[in-house]
Structure 1
Amino acid sequence: MTVSVKERVEQVYREESRRILATLIRLLGDFDLAEEALHEAFFIAVERWQRDGVPDNPRAWLVSTGRFKAIDVLRRRARFAASRPLLIAQLEELEQADWSDEDVEDDRLRLIFTCCHPALAADAQVPLTLREVCDLTTEEIARAFLSAPATIAQRIVRAKAKIRDAKIPYQVPTLAELPERLDSVLRVIYLVFNEGYSASIGAQVTREDLTREAIRLGRLLMELLPEPEVMGLLALMLLHESRRPARTSSSGELILLDDQDRTLWDSQMIAEGSALVERALGTRRFGPYCLQAAIAAVHAEAPSVEQTDWTQIVGLYDVLLRAVPSPVIELNRAAALSKRDGPLAGLALVEAILERGELLDYHLAHSARAEFCRQLGRVEQARQAYERALELTRQEPERRFIRGRLRGLR
């Protein structure tokens, strides 16, 4: 079937737009101007490619077109602005700047480090990166942070202004600067992967474009700084990604871990991830990502749910909770504990979390409570918990799964 030019432009936008934007931000030094130039370039592409054909290197064509459109914008501004000398200087610098398509691969990593610069407010670094590098919507980011979209939007606007006004450099830090910048970058990549592995909203359980991009960034970071926590994060992503083909049915329905066909798991990813876990733990300088990867490795290497070493998993969660106290980690530990000690033990932990007022708006907490109640035969409590989970869930396959559980209670 012949692909139309419009469909080809849309495909390039899906696959390349964030790389193109990252390069335009590097060239232009201005987030808003780069975004405007990006959209202008794609608009022009629909007409030009229809007439002249799709170029051999669409990404390079779009970067060049976007750059020239930005130069036109700056020329118009320079005619009327009071700051004309500054704009003229910016124009001259932009017109003389050299760039190569070979640089583009590293531009997203440069952009991540710019967005995670220590001069920016800590609570703005990750939202800005998720928005600009990964094209997550403000609503998706707010959901990842259990925060209001308006709050996230304000943080992003302030962070962009800070980068512009403080002239924060668009570059990967020196080796001496890397360690202090690493935590925010790891957290960004982790949140990108999570949004891809379990999409917060939409018609699909997973978003392969985000998981693939997070793993690519993780590999880039490994080349730059092969620290234990970088190894741990890359291992964690590989081990989770190995299970993605088994997480949905052929019709896109959600399949829980207990019911997954483990023959569909990617053995090469499991082997690579497990080797990275061993390497990281061997340094004895491991942290939360290594511990989470170790938990994922125990799951990945088990032939079945029944043969999983739940005692080891609970023990690893205990260590993880001491390192990073978190109600979400407590919730995950409750699920593991229920496998070892029964649903009543899991339910007690989940109810304790909810009684503290934590995770009240987190659908997975109510889903876990509902599941434990269902297993214990507490039908009315299970129904109430599933209904609350359904109110909070925005991903369609999860909503269908919960509705199926509710029908089963009847």
Structure 2
Amino acid sequence: MGICCSKAAAGPGELDDDDGFPWKHDDLFHEQLWTSAGVSLHTKQGWKGANQDAMTVCQDFADQKGQIFCGVFDGHGPLGREVARHVRDTLPSKLSSYLKPKTEDLSSSSDLDSFDKSDSTSFSDMSDENQLLSTWKNMFVKTFEDVDQELRQHSGIDCICSGTTAVTVVRQGDNLMIANLGDSRAVLCTRDSKDRLSPVQLTTDLKPDLPSEAARILSCKGRVFAMDDEPDVPRLWLPDQDAPGLAMARAFGDFCLKDHGLICTPEVYYRKLSEKDEFLVLATDGIWDVLSNKEVIKIVSSVSDPSKASKQLIDRAVRAWRRKFPTSMVDDCAAICLFLNRDSSEESLPGAADAKPSAVSSSFTGSFRKVLSRREASSSEEEGTTAWRALQGVARVNSVVRLPRIGAVLSWRRRSASLDEDEDDQD
């Protein structure tokens, strides 16, 4: 299902796996999550097989009260589901470990007030004097690179042609730090000068045909082109093989392409929040492929029960898929809605005040383990499919295409291993 919620950035062992987790059917779960964090989240399996999207929300992140981490991850390839879940479980704890020694300085520094931007600003565009925000960028980049290196060495997950995107955010008071890898997206809903709701896209969809991305790929002898039956979907290909056809320029995993332009370095952005900023939406491309930024904020802002905002958003996206692409398989969808100026005393759900505090202060997944056994069989029947099935269907809705022809890539892998062995022998 791809959801993992914890009170803090716990270690990988505490971020429980959630096969068959029935959270989406449990109103109490959503009430508690809404009451404690002002967060709504939901995911829905598409028509391609097992749901390869994953999500996480960590409250009191890095042991700082009120600090929150959110992330959505969109897996692709034969083992994309496993890659997305592994990154979901390891990235928050690793970032937290880097952040904890610096948190006191980050929290107490008044320099943050000097970075009041009307729009999101890339760290890479800031001057050297903005050392504090550069530190955030360094932590994100280091974390992403370390997680990617762990994936390369992971004996249980073959990531040669599997990977995941990631869009993550850390909210620290009025400061929003966003790290994006791939083509998921973060969109902020704010109010303009006339008090009208307006979307602000905080991240860039890192597609292979972006000029800067394409230049890097081509310099590494990778190729970028779209297939004839989907001319609007540029893909990344190996130098001499029409594979794997990756629909993004940055990702975790996909090591067959890491020497040909694919990188795991996130783009990092900063936003100084104001009272005009209403909520933030993090979502995988299953949402953005069929709904505009304006449509998304209109849907979320119009829901009567904010704790179910993400579910209604995904339901609307699924209907849009069926209408706009009737011959395509609906993609997996995952969304997190983080409400920024919520007054918990006025907006908490009816009955939420009666929720037991202990249920919120620990991992949400633990309180539902009793029902897993009852639903595990039906869940496995719904999602029980080979990883290859997730790559079948109309190419537009696949992050990777033509993988059944990946024999050449596997041959490349054997050649690469052989070359490594030859180099070791020479040494």
Instruction: Give me the TM-score of the superposition, normalised by structure 2.
Output: 0.26
Larger Rg belongs to: 1
Task: State the structure with bigger RCO (CA 8 A, min sep 6), 1 or 2.
Answer: 2
Between Structure 1 and Structure 2, the one with more strand by share is: 2
Between Structure 1 and Structure 2, the one with more helix by share is: 1
